[in-house]
Amino acid sequence: MKFGLEGKVALVTGAANNGLGRAHALCLAGEGASVALLDVQACDETLKLLEEKGIKAKSYLCDISKLDEVAKVLGQIQKDLGSVQILVNNASILSTVGMFNDISPERFRGDVEVNILGTVNVTRSVWPHMMEKKWGRVVFISSFAGTHGGAGQTSYATTKAAVIGLCKSLALEGARFNITANVVAPGVMKSEAVQNFIRGDMLDRMIKKAAMRRLGELHEVGNTVAFLCSEQASFITGQVIEVDGGAGLFTF
């Protein structure tokens, strides 16, 4: 099935490293979209992979928690590629780990500023153009922690749950403008971050919790995102799709 994204301009945030952001960008590009890559780190490797496939793509440095930076970058994307029609809100940080009582207010606030307010900043910057064009696709990347909670991840889980509320509200507001908004909530994926960040015994427990008894592949999330951005998904909005190998099921 072709998703018909030829001629569309997609913006993927958090696309620097070999993780979900890169997978989203590659899957959208594979369906014909031009791709703007945005991250607080350089997206050189992701950009190289896209250009090698003959994809029209550009990369931009930006701290999404700063609205003035976001506005400036979105103006440049408009000049370079055109109006953003597809937005994948992937950028977030998971650097605050510890039990709730041990997390400082400053660290908690930092996660809120990037994961919630940063997501709002980027969405706010593209939303008026989507309304004007009467077409848009917004996908928010939440997490299994956002839908089920996570011990030792209270700030991350809180922020990832918040984007679900934002998505559902925007789905209601965007419907009359032919804009859909959906959430994809990945489980534990086969990424460098997961395998470097999570202790081996903990990772084994997570794998055993999933009905499929394996880590997810990054492209399995990326393909879900690409589908939600297509015309084939035009009647799907305000939904939370968990791509988690059945980790949320009762497993024994």
| Mean pLDDT in residue range 141-163 | 94
| Mean pLDDT in residue range 169-198 | 90
| Mean pLDDT in residue range 65-92 | 97
What secondary structure, in 3-state letters, does 148-208 show?
Answer: HCCCCEHHHHHHHHHHHHHHHHHHHHHHHHCEEEEEEEECCECCHHHHHHCCHHHHHHHHH
**pLDDT tier, 1 (very low <50, low <70, confident <90, very high otherwise):** low
Q: Which residues neighbour 163 within 8 Å (Cβ) at sequence distance 6 or greater?
A: 89, 115, 116, 119, 140, 142, 146, 183
Q: Reply yes or no on whether the pLDDT at 151 is more than 90.
A: no
**Helix pair 218-228, 20-30: axis angle to 10 deg:** 50
Active site residues: 156
Per domain, the residue ranges of the chain are: 9-242
Assigned token pair, 107: 């660290």
| Mean pLDDT in residue range 180-192 | 93
| Mean pLDDT in residue range 114-143 | 98
**pLDDT tier, 202 (very low <50, low <70, confident <90, very high otherwise):** confident
Q: What is the number of H-type helices and E-type strands within the chain?
A: 10, 7
Q: Cα 166 from chain centroid? A: 14
Q: Reply yes or no on whether the pLDDT at 95 is more than 90.
A: no
Q: Reply yes or no on whether the pLDDT at 69 is more than 90.
A: yes
| Mean pLDDT in residue range 62-68 | 97
d(CA 251, CA 248): 8
| Mean pLDDT in residue range 29-34 | 96
| Mean pLDDT in residue range 111-140 | 98
**pLDDT tier, 121 (very low <50, low <70, confident <90, very high otherwise):** very high
**pLDDT tier, 2 (very low <50, low <70, confident <90, very high otherwise):** confident
Query: For 10-21, how does the pLDDT look when each residue is reduced to its tens digit (9 = 90+)?
Result: 999 999 998 999
Class of the 9-242 domain? alpha beta
Considering the entire predicted model, what is its pTM?
0.95
